[in-house]
Amino acid sequence: MANEELFAALGLEATGAGATAVFSPIDGAEIGRVNYDQAAGVDAKIAAAVAAFEAWRNVPPPKRGELIRLLGDELRAAKPSLGRLVSLESGKILAPDQDAANRLKRTLIQSADSASTRRNRQHFWKKFKEWCEARDASPLPAEPDTVVLYLLDQARRGQKKSTLNNMRWAIDTIHQQQGLTAPTDDPEAKQQIKGLFRTMAEQRPEQVIQRKKKPITINQIRIMDFPKGVLGLRDKALLLLGFATGMRRSELAAVRKEHIEETEYGLRIRIPRSKSDQLGEGDTVDVIRAAMGRNQKHCPVKTVQKLMGENPYEHLFVRVRRINTSGGYRKRKMLSEPNRFIDRPLDGNGVYRIVKKYGAQVGLAPEDLGGHSLRAGCATYLLEKEVPPAAVQKQMRHKSFNTTQQYNRGETARALVGAY
């Protein structure tokens, strides 16, 4: 906005006829011209101000308040122009638009979480809002007692402690993002929730006990019946790689061929981003080649390398589609290879379905298995083989050594050699 437009917006003359020029400290340009008052003129203005004050003090307070409110409305309406005028006169930079700044702040806060975390938070928040609306209670801001009653109601409906904690986290986070106090930070609410969890632990109803998923062992993988062709090759490579590296199911689904490099000991896989690395700093895991003469049929390195040769696409684990059997050629082709790879990578749920499918072959019930079963199997196996715990912690990418020790039920690549 040019100076002339700014002055016009404020009802000021663009340039005065005064003798004294006023310059902006920003660039030294002339803003306008003013005159200095003489002593007599100053005395007259002071007298006028005193008379105005005497009249103002006789105005009833309600009217004075209303006038100040109206004046405030006018100032707020002209705030952008007044801000530019002050900036022009003093040289100070303009403060950013507060609404825009708040939008940017909320965007940055939300971006600190992964997409799945945001989806989970919105899922739990939606459930809480619906519960509050059905009972004519305010979800935002929510009273601490409201949140406690909601958690108690959900516990009675059979929700696990871990799910209740996720609900609590979602409600608190939404409040904090809006600049409000988290409801469960209230001391009394904290004690009530603690009492709820203690009661759940004492009663131990089956529906609220979180059963740990069972780890898959290497011996179970060795007796699994993988079909011939690309389907069996993909599934076998996925299970062996997941077990050998302890990668999470989302990490397995995201592996691309460009992430894999050969090393002295086998393979090294770069993980650009993971659950514990939301900033994308990246990490690596080692895949150790099976010792010669041992476990060659189930060597993760050889199996992954074979899959890389068969799969023409960039993602290592892609979907498999059955070949259309119409036509003589396709019928003959189906006899040797009934499936083909398609350029659609698996997702975390696809990895989980494969784990459940082959787990059933070795007698593992679906409720005992999870996407974490391969990861748990890796950590348990390495600790049982007396691999140094520090090497296991690095391979599993645990931030805390206590997390690694949880798998102790009974320097990195070099320390792992011979375990497979």
Residue owning tokens 């003489």: 38
For residue 91, what pLDDT is reported?
Answer: 77
Is the CB of residue 280 less than 8 Å from the CB of residue 272? yes
Mean pLDDT of 36-47: 88
Lowest mean pLDDT among 50-59, 112-121, 256-265: 112-121
> In the structure, how many helices (H) and strands (E) does the chain have?
19, 7
For residue 280, what pLDDT is reported?
Answer: 58
What does the mean pLDDT of the chain come to?
82
For residue 47, what pLDDT is reported?
Answer: 92
For residue 334, what pLDDT is reported?
Answer: 47
Q: Name the DSSP letter for residue 150.
A: H
Residue 258 — pLDDT band, cuts 50, 70, 90? very high
For residue 207, what pLDDT is reported?
Answer: 45
Q: Which residues of 102-130 are buried (b: 16+ CB within 10 A; e: fewer)?
A: eeeeeeeeeeeeeeebeeebeebbeebbe
Q: Name the DSSP letter for residue 22.
A: E
- Count of other CB atoms within 10 angstroms of residue 28: 7
Angle between helices 144-156 and 161-177 (to 10 degrees): 150
Rounded to the nearest 5 degrees, what angle is found at the Cα of 263, between the Cα atoms of 260 and 269?
25
Does the pLDDT of residue 14 top 70, yes or no? no
CA distance 360 to 357: 6
Q: What percent of the chain is modeled with pLDDT above 70?
A: 82
Q: Highest-confidence range of 154-168, 262-276, 315-329, 402-416, by mean pLDDT?
A: 154-168
DSSP 220-286: HHHT--PPSSHHHHHHHHHHHHHHHH---HHHHHH-BGGGEEE-SSEEEEEES-BTTBTT---EEEE
Residue 64 — pLDDT band, cuts 50, 70, 90? confident
CA distance 397 to 392: 8
CA distance 13 to 7: 6
Residue 344 — pLDDT band, cuts 50, 70, 90? very high
For residue 196, what pLDDT is reported?
Answer: 87
Name the pTM for this structure: 0.55
For residue 277, what pLDDT is reported?
Answer: 55
Angle between helices 373-384 and 230-245 (to 10 degrees): 50
260-262 vs 30-34, strand pairing mode: unpaired
Look at residue 141 and give its three-state secondary structure. coil
| Model confidence pLDDT, tens digit, residues 287-343 | 988 765 566 788 999 999 999 999 999 999 999 988 766 555 555 454 556 788 999
Does the pLDDT of residue 54 top 80, yes or no? yes
Assigned token pair, 49: 């101000």
Does the pLDDT of residue 155 top 60, yes or no? yes
CA distance 328 to 338: 14
For residue 53, what pLDDT is reported?
Answer: 92
Q: What are the distances in angstroms from CA 133 to CA 55, 137, 146, 179?
A: 53, 6, 12, 22
Lowest mean pLDDT among 41-50, 55-64, 108-117, 207-216: 207-216
Specify the length of the chain in residues: 420
Domains in the chain with CATH codes? 3-90 (no CATH), 105-208 (1.10.150.130), 218-227+238-320+341-416 (1.10.443.10)
Burial label, 333 (beta-carbon count in 10 A; 0-12, 13-18, 19+): middle
| Model confidence pLDDT, tens digit, residues 198-230 | 888 776 545 444 456 788 888 999 999 999 889
For residue 295, what pLDDT is reported?
Answer: 67
Does the pLDDT of residue 186 top 80, yes or no? yes
Lowest mean pLDDT among 113-117, 137-141, 169-173, 408-412: 408-412
Lowest mean pLDDT among 19-23, 163-167, 309-313, 353-357: 19-23
Assigned token pair, 133: 């609306």
For residue 382, what pLDDT is reported?
Answer: 87
Is the CB of residue 420 less than 8 Å from the CB of residue 290? yes
Does the pLDDT of residue 241 top 90, yes or no? yes
For residue 411, what pLDDT is reported?
Answer: 43
For residue 102, what pLDDT is reported?
Answer: 63
CA distance 183 to 135: 18
Assigned token pair, 308: 């890389």
| Model confidence pLDDT, tens digit, residues 83-128 | 888 888 887 776 665 566 666 666 666 666 777 788 889 999 999 9
